[in-house]
Amino acid sequence: MKCRRCKAPAIIDIPRHNAAFCAECFTHQCREQVKRAIHEHQMIAPGERVLVAVSGGKDSLALWDLLHEIGIPADGLYLGLGIGEYSDASGEHTRAFANARGFHLHEVDLRADYGYDIPGAAEATHRAPCGACGLSKRHLFNQAALDHDYDVVATGHNLDDEAAVLLGNVLRWETGYLGRQFPVLPAAPGFARKVKPLVRLSEREMAAYCVIRGIEYQVEECPMADGNRHIGFKNLLNQLETQSPGTKAAFISGFWSRGHAAFTEAADDERAALLPCVECGAPTTTGDRCAFCSLRAKASQPVAIRLGR
């Protein structure tokens, strides 16, 4: 197996491109894919301030590294979720990465700053933890971007994530979600622009990138991921990809070019009808308390009150 670019011995093959690369040309390929995604979808303009949502996992640390490598000096934001040792180790990987490179890292801690954590929120809402976790992340990353004057929030969603979420949204015909599922979500009143520069790169490629670049990341899976239906969708898509390489990329790129526009009206209508939350001012569908403030109120109550004791 030889590198497609320089003909040296290859260390990784990428079946969907029918190509293999040596370590140096592979990192070049990753940078090119990120540049291409940013350019194709007009994610980031020169001079804009970028905030990366960093979890300590491979995707977000690789993204942060790649942005700097291509000349976009992004800052990071780490959100402490309070998921025991998993969160402790994730925070340590993130801080070590930022310190070693001199990157600027903001930190928000759910328990210290907002009075709850994800295990407590799951218990209080009687729902799967990922619901409360996703809601908290979306709200607080957006809030931090607005508070600190960032133009863009960049997240580490990769090709596998996007394909799994798309499959989930299509299976249930979630028209609002389908209208918002795109590599770039424009800014709107109360919302910073959101971009996903890794959409052309797979999970496996991001793990390889971290190994080659010496990035130490949180390899453990989140212990609260049980019941996250995207894991099942990823397994299904992996089977299809093995049989027919390129299936995932064709699924998402076909949706962007031929499907997405059919759903933007539903998403635009939802956004246009938003009113400010009475507590935090974030856009909300009801004009009352937003979903984040409701979650926070419920999850930060002492257990005895929550259970009606």
The β-bridge relationship of strands 184-185 and 50-54 is unpaired
Closer Cβ to ligand Q46, 144 or 222, answer by number: 222
> Least distance (Å) from ligand Q46 to the CB of residue 297?
20
Strand residue runs (E) in 200-260: none
Q: Report the run of H or E that residue 153 belongs to, with start and end.
A: strand 152-154
The Cα–Cα gap between 91 and 200 comes to 27
Give the SS3 label for residue 78. Answer: strand
Among 118, 135, 153, 252, binds ligand Q46 (CB under 6 A): 118
- Please choose which of ligand Q46, Zn ion, none residue 279 contacts, taking the beta carbon within 5 to 8 angstroms, the exact cut-off set by kind: Zn ion
Instruction: For residue 290, state whether it binds Zn ion (rule: CB under 5 A).
Output: yes
- Please choose which of ligand Q46, Zn ion, none residue 185 contacts, taking the beta carbon within 5 to 8 angstroms, the exact cut-off set by kind: none
Instruction: For residue 73, state whether it binds ligand Q46 (rule: CB under 6 A).
Output: no
Place of tokens 């402790």: 88
Contact code string over 130-159 relative to ligand Q46, x by CB under 6 A? x--xx-------------------------
Among positive and negative, which fits the CA dihedral 236, 153, 274, 269? negative
Among 91, 120, 129, 183, binds ligand Q46 (CB under 6 A): 129
The Cα–Cα gap between 266 and 175 comes to 6
Instruction: For residue 140, state whether it binds Zn ion (rule: CB under 5 A).
Output: no
Query: Within positions 183 to 242, which residues make up the interface with ligand Q46, using CB under 6 A?
Result: 222, 224-225, 228
CB 34 within 8 A of CB 197: yes
Q: Which residues bind ligand Q46 (CB under 6 A)?
A: 118, 129-130, 133-134, 222, 224-225, 228
